[in-house]
């Protein structure tokens, strides 16, 4: 904390390396020795309320140098006893205040839309990104991270994403960008990934679009698909991608935002809908029996031999089970 207190978070020249930071950089180095790559998870749509710029804004309101970094609807009026301060949070969540978007031209839900982030926000994000891509700032990216998974990517304007892609590729030409592009209309319609992976924004997305129909084919239930219907869906989905994009897709079964694989395959409910006991008392969260584990193994044979890059949520490889968040994070 003493090291951090000596920094000016708005000035990258004052940023220092904590012991935790240097340990992580060492981890990246050791991973690279073993021909492994490190991809970090970032959200460039919002921050938490403990973020330094947000805390300054809350304290100083319109007099804060970061007053236009966030989507503020109204500042507090000090002449009244009430607190009129209001702002936009991700999907209405006030604990996650959203960065300011500028020049926005909204289009169809779930598709890229024009605009960018506030220049101050954009510059800060680029500085943070460069720090982890080239930790010693020597122009050699081999000691830095290798990619990013980008949270709620559809909420961030495509103008920012294009500039971001150009920036990271100027440092590391093979830097991997994978977007979280999930729901167009929950819980019925998944987003079409194709517009996001045309070569100017992301290399891949978290491929829930593969998992939903494949789960329906394997287990039946509400989302049941025949063999022909499943085959048609795969041809349609993967046929929209370039071959190199199809191979790079992040084929996920379980994640931090969904039930673990074994529990997901055990229950035949609608995908990502009422998938924990508080939402559905009949949802099964007990230990999966042999028939479920046999199905899990069969599913993983498919996952590891099908087009795309298989992704295993930490713990699933050990047979962990659990319903939707927070039960999946135990």
* pLDDT on residue 2: 82
- Name the pTM for this structure: 0.96
- Beta strands 101-105 and 114-117, pairing class: antiparallel
* pLDDT on residue 5: 83
Nearest to 145 by CA among 116, 178, 117, 121: 178
CA 261 vs. chain centroid, Å, equals 18
Q: How far apart are CA 142 and CA 133, in angstroms?
A: 8
Q: How far apart are CA 240 and CA 116, in angstroms?
A: 26
Q: How far apart are CA 169 and CA 165, in angstroms?
A: 6
Question: What's the pLDDT tens digit per position in 250-286?
Answer: 999 999 999 999 999 999 999 999 999 999 999 999 9
90 within 8 A of 155, measured Cβ to Cβ: yes
Please tell me the total number of residues recorded for the chain in this structure.
330
**Domains along the chain with CATH numbers:** 207-330 (3.20.20.80)
Q: How far apart are CA 89 and CA 108, in angstroms?
A: 21
Question: What's the pLDDT tens digit per position in 153-170?
Answer: 999 999 999 999 999 999
Low-confidence ranges of the chain (pLDDT < 70): none
105 within 8 A of 146, measured Cβ to Cβ: no
203 phi and psi, to 5 degrees? -85, -25
197 phi and psi, to 5 degrees? -125, 45
């Amino acid at each position: 904390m003493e090291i951090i207190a000596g920094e000016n978070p708005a000035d990258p020249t004052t940023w220092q390396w904590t012991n935790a930071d240097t340990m992580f950089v060492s981890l990246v180095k050791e991973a690279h020795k073993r021909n492994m790559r490190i991809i970090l998870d970032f959200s460039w749509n919002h921050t938490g309320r403990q973020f330094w710029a947000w805390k300054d804004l809350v304290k100083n309101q319109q007099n804060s140098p970061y007053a236009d970094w966030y989507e503020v609807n109204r500042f507090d009026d000090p002449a009244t006893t009430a607190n009129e301060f209001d702002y936009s949070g991700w999907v209405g969540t006030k604990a996650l205040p959203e960065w300011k978007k500028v020049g926005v031209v909204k289009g169809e839900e779930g598709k890229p839309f024009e605009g960018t982030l506030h220049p101050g926000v954009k510059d800060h994000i680029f500085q943070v990104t460069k720090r982890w891509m080239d930790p010693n700032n020597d122009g050699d990216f081999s000691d830095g991270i290798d990619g990013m998974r980008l949270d709620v990517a559809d909420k961030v304007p495509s103008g920012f994403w294009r500039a971001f892609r150009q920036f990271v590729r100027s440092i590391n030409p093979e830097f991997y960008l994978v977007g979280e592009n999930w729901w167009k209309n929950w819980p019925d319609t998944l987003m079409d990934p194709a517009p996001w992976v045309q070569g100017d924004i992301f290399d891949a997305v978290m491929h829930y679009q593969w998992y939903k129909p494949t789960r329906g084919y394997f287990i039946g239930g509400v989302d049941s698909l025949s063999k022909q219907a499943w085959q048609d869906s795969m041809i349609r989905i993967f046929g929209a991608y370039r071959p190199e994009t199809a191979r790079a897709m992040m084929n996920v079964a379980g994640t931090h935002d969904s039930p673990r694989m074994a529990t997901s395959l055990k229950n035949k409910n609608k995908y990502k809908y009422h998938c924990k006991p508080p939402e559905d008392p009949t949802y099964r969260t007990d230990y999966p029996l042999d028939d479920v584990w046999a199905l899990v193994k069969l599913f993983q044979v498919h996952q590891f031999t099908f087009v795309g890059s298989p992704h295993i949520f930490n713990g699933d490889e050990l047979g962990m089970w659990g319903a939707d968040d927070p039960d999946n994070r135990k």
